[in-house]
Chain A
Amino acid sequence: MAELSILTFFVVLSVLSSLLVVCTKNIVHCALWMIVSCIALAGLFLLLHLQFLAILQIIVYAGAIMMFILYAIMMLNLRFSSGPYLLWNVKTLGLVVLVVFMVGLLGLAELLPETSPISGPFTVQALEDIGEAGILATRIFSDYIIAFELVSVLLTAGVVGALALAKKDR
């Protein structure tokens, strides 16, 4: 019962804060509501018993990325966008098509078989014994090593690219 009320709280919080990110006029407020949305998502990860990823979500999204974005907003001195803040045109039609498509997708998901094959390292016993960070670590350095190294190369390339782009004159 307590779990259900916590779940309801985080679901309502994340939907409301995401809507406010999309609807607020003040860009700084948008970024601040995005932090609330990230923290609500971390709470939902905790409800899925994935503590490591919840902490990662708070550190990486709410800590690093959002701080970076707030820095950028304040350095560019943007508070309100110039002119009307919405683009209403043919894109709304596309939006309607998208909503219909997604609802159809959800209907398709309802048709899927109820039981999915259960096999893998995330058993309840393993989660209690070595924890989810331990399971992930052993998988990262064995099965997923190539993907992991590619992500690190991508991070390095991103740093170099951002520096090259932000340099004033070359």
Chain B
Amino acid sequence: MEYQSVFLGLGLALFLIGTAGALVRRTAIVVFLSIEIMLGGVNLVFLTFARSTQSADGAFMVMCIMAVAAVEAAVGLAIFFRMYQKTGSIDVERFNLLKW
């Protein structure tokens, strides 16, 4: 397939940008958005290989990832609400009850 390396390289770039954001930002919602960017990069790689090997597995996997991302958004935002009620901010530094 033509341009396959472009798509794969872009998937890698999106994954790295998302990883950097998830590690570096301190607002929980932005960390969550960075994880969504990582999922987008993985989706792109799945679909590129699905097209180049003519397999439907990658496309189905992408549909599953989208559904899981929606669930993640619902549960994650509920957690952010509780966090905001408890500490008055959604700074990941202040979310330290599970630290040992």
Chain A contact residues, CB within 8 Å of chain B: 4, 7, 11, 14-15, 18-19, 21-22, 27, 30-31, 34, 37-38, 41, 44-45, 47-50, 53, 56-57, 60-61, 64-65, 68-69, 72-73, 75-76, 78, 81-88, 91-92, 94-95, 98-99, 102, 106, 109, 116-123, 132, 135-136, 139-140, 144, 147, 151, 154-155, 157-159, 161-163, 165-166, 168
Contacts and interface: CB of A to CB of B under 8 A. Distances in A.
A81 B60 contact: no
A68 to B, nearest CB: 6
Contact of B54 (A18, A85, A120): A120
B32 A69 contact: yes
A37 B37 CA distance: 8
Given A136-B59, A162-B74, A162-B78, A30 B69 contact: no
Interface of B: 3, 6-10, 12-21, 23-27, 29-30, 32-34, 36-37, 40, 43-44, 47-57, 59-60, 62-64, 66-75, 77-82, 84-85, 89-93
B53 A118 contact: yes
Given A47-B3, A118-B53, 11 more contacts: A18-B17, A22-B30, A41-B40, A64-B70, A65-B70, A65-B73, A72-B81, A83-B91, A85-B27, A123-B54, A163-B78
Contact of A68 (B50, B66, B73): B73
Instruction: Report the 5 A-B pairs with minimum CB-CB distance, sorted nearest first.
Output: A158-B71, A22-B21, A120-B55, A165-B78, A162-B78
A15 B47 contact: no
B62 A158 contact: no
B44 to A, nearest CB: 6
A69 B35 CA distance: 13
Given A21-B33, A95-B23, A151-B67, A38 B40 contact: yes
A155 B70 contact: yes
Nearest to B73: A65
A95 B20 contact: yes
Contact of B25 (A4, A86, A151, A159): A86
Contact of B59 (A53, A83, A91, A168): A53
A45 to B, nearest CB: 6
B3 A7 contact: yes
A65 to B, nearest CB: 5
B30 A21 contact: yes
A144 B37 CA distance: 26
Nearest to A44: B44
